[in-house]
A = this chain, B = another copy of it.
């Protein structure tokens, strides 16, 4: 069932390599595969670990280098959450921002056309032309809020 995960993205990457006179390699394939199979927000270490399941010799250096290529190919984006660098899929995904639960570390995505609109408004007020943004909201997710309410009550 999960065969062909990210088939389209693999084609995009192949295309990117070809167009830039670069070559395919087992390592790049293992890394891309691992990246595509995980729906999560991966750290370099996560990705290294996952890629090594398939190809144990993959080096950390190659992960860094491949991530750079994936970003240039429009397949990955870097985000820094609470000081930690993570990567997520980018290809054909709608723009979104993140909630981060300080208790469990879970990351939730959100997007709001309304916020985007007001941003544009505020920007144009000072003659600023927007080209991108990062919006991160920290706090407690539903289950962590519930958990702490429970332990509160227990006192």
Contacts and interface: CB of A to CB of B under 8 A. Distances in A.
A130 B126 contact: no
Interface in A99-146: 99, 101-102, 108, 110, 112, 114-115, 118-119, 122-123, 126-142, 145
Contacts of A139: 123, 128-132
Contacts of A134: 134-136, 138
B130 A145 contact: no
A114 B116 CA distance: 11
A80 interface: yes
Given A134-B136, A135-B135, A137-B133, A99 B118 contact: no
B130 A137 contact: yes
A145 B127 contact: yes
A131 B127 contact: no
Contact of A133 (B80, B101, B135, B142): B135
Interface in A57-116: 80, 83, 99, 101-102, 108, 110, 112, 114-115
Given A128-B140, A132-B139, 11 more contacts: A80-B80, A99-B126, A123-B139, A126-B142, A128-B137, A128-B141, A128-B145, A130-B137, A131-B139, A133-B137, A134-B136
